[in-house]
């Protein structure tokens, strides 16, 4: 997928479009007492596409002194933050890890996760994916009862509430449940206590979370691709509104007291369109098959005569193949992607002749010269990148460029973890499809019909708020930093 990081180390396509991915969480408990840090490392490596800003790992020995946690985190990619000596020093049979991009809170090392809390009942380590819509209020209430915050992220609000609830509950899982009843919005959590690994998913199921098993170890993580990477078998998804507690004595213990009626669930459809790795399955649905289906729908609903169908790497590729399969128009490769542009990438200055898009992407002239090309991409947010890629295809000799988008037009911001910007920054806001087509310079433009989205998710209930403004819960009036939305 065409991914990003914040600040001066940004993968420019997403900096320009404003669409950024979510975070990734990973937790493991080895019942045989083996060290797990290296496994967490490889799990995070598999989830790197979900966040390239910062990462971290925290581990503990369940047989050792209660509450002793070893952690390491920093800014950058997993293989930049962790050296072999870091992992060798991290001894423990239970651990959690996190890869992050910031949906709320600044891009600083202090905001990297997992968060580790020492409190009267022991120690908690927490990794969170998602955005809370009532974080600002909860934070304000905590501050006025004496809480001192070390970060600006809403994840710390969750950690504080778990710690506070633990003072009045018999078990840490009860504390997690009670804290989750106070928070609103999108969250998939992995919590490590001295003797338990806990996973929790919000009642709407915005963010994915699943359970895996490898020999005598259990894993809770964002995507099944992380299970495949470490050689674990998929057990099941954590259900929307479910809390699972994993211990050697009880195995997997489920609590569904927070669950909603199934028809009220609202998964983020962009997991299937864009965020997740194509080899993952989310709630029983293949991400790859979902993208193929999106391409087929585009071919059915927005046909056009052409010579070649191409995808914008990476998430546009499967949809382009689906368009080709449905239409009979040959599928080909038109773009060469530079896979070595990582954290150290310096964005060219505006005065520089180098195009920030061309640093990441170049066109194969031999593939498109003299041809009518259908270009499939996952989304158009601000439109600046689409304009440049269309122009690059024309400069390479394409006689026509027809753009097809495997999502509907963005018309509303997202408050649940997808960094869709304010309406005024969205190219489709207050513009017709024809006006957008003119702005990006395409010969034709077609979006995925919003009615097709649920079919993409095999009929599962989804959130469509960023397309039609119909949010499953009322949006916030301010974010974690107190800014008006």
Using the structure block, give the residue that is written with the tokens 């072999």. Answer: 84
Span 43-78, pLDDT tens digits = 999 999 999 899 999 999 999 877 789 999 999 999
Taking the mean position of all CA atoms in its chain, how far away is CA 123? 27
Span 424-457, pLDDT tens digits = 889 999 999 999 999 999 999 999 999 999 999 9
23, 55, 180, 414: which one is catalytic?
23
Q: Is 180 a catalytic residue?
A: no
Taking the mean position of all CA atoms in its chain, how far away is CA 434? 31
pLDDT at 352 over 90: no
Handedness of CA 118, 120, 122, 128 (dihedral sign): negative
Tokens standing for residue 184? 């609103």
Start-to-end Cα distance in the chain: 28
Span 280-300, pLDDT tens digits = 999 999 999 999 999 999 999
- Within 8 A by CB and 6+ apart from 249, the residues are none
- Within 8 A by CB and 6+ apart from 125, the residues are 58, 60, 69, 71, 96, 114, 115, 116, 117, 191, 192
Tell me the helix, strand and coil percentages in the chain, rounded to 5: 30, 25, 45
pLDDT at 104 over 90: no
- Predicted confidence band of residue 144 (pLDDT cuts 50, 70, 90): confident
Percent of the chain scored above 90 by pLDDT?
72
Name the 3-class secondary structure at 461.
Answer: coil
Cα–Cα distance list, 34 to 37, 280, 450 (Å):
10, 27, 48
Please check whether residue 271 is in contact with residue 214, taking contact to mean a CB–CB distance below 8 angstroms: no
Handedness of CA 454, 459, 462, 468 (dihedral sign): positive
**DSSP label of 379:** -
- Helix 433-440 to helix 384-395 angle, to the nearest 10 degrees? 50
Could you tell me the pTM of the whole model? 0.90
Neighbours of 422 (CB within 10 A): 11
In 253-281, which positions are buried (b, 16+ CB within 10 angstroms) versus exposed (e)? Answer: eebeebbbeeeebbbbbbbbbbbbbbebb
pLDDT at 12 over 50: no
Please check whether residue 130 is in contact with residue 204, taking contact to mean a CB–CB distance below 8 angstroms: no
In this prediction, residues 461-469 reach a mean pLDDT of 95
Give me the pLDDT at residue 341, please. 53
Q: Minimal CA–CA distance to 61: which of 92, 90, 100, 20?
A: 92
**DSSP label of 248:** T
Dist. CA 229–CA 270, nearest whole Å: 23
Handedness of CA 42, 47, 49, 55 (dihedral sign): negative
Dist. CA 3–CA 115, nearest whole Å: 25
- Predicted confidence band of residue 18 (pLDDT cuts 50, 70, 90): very low
- 212: β partners: 219, 234
Give me the pLDDT at residue 314, please. 85
Give me the pLDDT at residue 339, please. 67
Name the 3-class secondary structure at 472.
Answer: coil
**DSSP label of 215:** T
Using the structure block, give the residue that is written with the tokens 């495949």. Answer: 228
Using the structure block, give the residue that is written with the tokens 């993409």. Answer: 456
**DSSP label of 423:** G
Instruction: Domains for the chain: give ranges and CATH numbers.
Output: 7-265 (3.60.20.10), 287-468 (3.40.50.2020)
- Check residue 482 and give left, alpha or beta (phi > 0: left; psi -120 to 50: alpha): left
């Amino acid at each position: 997928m065409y991914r990003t990081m914040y600040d001066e180390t940004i993968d420019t396509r997403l900096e320009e479009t404003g669409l950024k991915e979510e975070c990734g969480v990973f937790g493991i408990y080895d019942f045989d007492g083996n060290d797990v840090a290296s496994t967490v490392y490889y799990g995070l490596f598999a989830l790197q596409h979900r966040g390239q800003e910062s990462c971290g790992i925290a581990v503990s020995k369940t047989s050792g002194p209660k509450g002793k946690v070893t952690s390491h985190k920093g800014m950058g990619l997993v293989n930049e933050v962790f050296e072999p000596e870091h992992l060798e020093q991290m001894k423990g049979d239970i651990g959690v890890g996190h890869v992050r991009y910031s949906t709320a809170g600044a891009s600083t090392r202090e905001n990297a996760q997992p968060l580790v809390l020492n409190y009267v009942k022991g120690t908690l380590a927490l990794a969170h994916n998602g955005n809370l819509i009532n974080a600002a209020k909860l934070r304000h209430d905590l501050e006025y009862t004496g809480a001192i915050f070390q970060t600006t992220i809403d994840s710390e609000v969750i950690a504080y509430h778990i710690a506070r609830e633990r003072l009045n509950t018999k078990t840490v899982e009860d504390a997690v449940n009670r804290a989750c009843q106070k928070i609103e919005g999108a969250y998939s959590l992995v919590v490590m206590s001295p003797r338990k690994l806990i996973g929790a998913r919000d009642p709407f199921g915005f963010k994915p979370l699943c359970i895996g098993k490898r020999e005598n170890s259990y894993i809770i993580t964002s995507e099944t691709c992380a299970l495949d990477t470490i050689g674990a078998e998929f057990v099941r998804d954590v259900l929307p509104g479910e809390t699972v507690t994993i211990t050697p004595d009880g195995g997997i213990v489920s609590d569904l007291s927070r669950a909603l009626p199934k028809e009220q669930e609202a998964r983020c459809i962009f997991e299937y369109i864009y965020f997740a790795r194509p080899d993952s399955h989310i709630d029983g649905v293949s991400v790859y098959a979902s993208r193929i289906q999106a391409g087929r729908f585009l071919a059915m609903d927005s046909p056009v005569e052409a010579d070649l169908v191409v995808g914008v790497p990476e998430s546009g590729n499967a949809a382009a193949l689906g368009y080709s399969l449905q239409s009979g128009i040959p599928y080909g490769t038109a773009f060469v992607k530079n896979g070595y542009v990582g954290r150290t990438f310096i964005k060219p200055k505006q005065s520089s002749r180098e195009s920030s898009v061309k640093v990441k992407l170049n066109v194969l002239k031999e593939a498109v010269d003299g041809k009518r090309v259908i270009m499939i991409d996952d989304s158009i947010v601000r439109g600046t990148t689409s304009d440049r890629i269309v122009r690059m295809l024309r400069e390479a000799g394409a006689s026509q460029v027809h753009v097809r988008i495997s999502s509907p037009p963005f018309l509303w911001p997202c408050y649940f973890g997808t960094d869709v910007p304010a309406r005024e920054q969205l190219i489709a806001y207050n513009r017709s499809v024809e006006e957008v087509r003119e702005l990006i310079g395409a010969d034709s433009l077609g979006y995925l019909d919003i009615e097709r989205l649920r079919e993409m998710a095999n009929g599962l209930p989804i959130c469509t708020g960023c397309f039609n403004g119909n949010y499953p819960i009322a949006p916030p009036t301010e974010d974690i930093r107190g800014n008006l939305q």
